[in-house]
Amino acid sequence: MADNTPRAEETPSRDAHRDAVARVREASGFTVQLPVLGRVPVPRPEQLAFFTAIGLLAAVEIIEWPVALTIAAGHILIADQHNRAVQEIGEVLEAV
């Protein structure tokens, strides 16, 4: 009679899963390789949820599309930590 229970080396470790989740949370960005487009940046999961919520609000006409696009654009500008212009504006606002 064959034993069909998975062995310890065949099952993924909880520590490995936790490490992977931690790496995703700490990552500053992700990219996906698409056949025609090449590397396409993907927002972090929190940002993706935010954009999805804004899109749904606009789709069910709770907010207008121009308002949704303005909110999304503002979120992108604020979330972009590598954008030097946004950092300089923040430094000026802090000085005021």
Provide the angle, in degrees to the nearest 10, between the axes of the packed helices 45-59 and 65-79. Answer: 170
For the chain, the structural domain boundaries read 14-95
Q: Which two tokens stand for residue 74?
A: 């503002």
Residues 6+ apart with CB under 8 A from 64: 58
pLDDT digits over 17-27, tens only? 777 777 766 66
Nearest to 54 by CA among 65, 41, 40: 65
Query: Whole-prediction pTM value?
Result: 0.51
* Rounded Cα gap, residues 48 and 42, in angstroms: 8
pLDDT digits over 36-82, tens only? 888 888 777 788 899 999 999 999 999 999 999 999 988 887 776 55
Residue labelled with tokens 């006409």:
61
What integer pLDDT is reported at residue 65 of this predicted model? 95
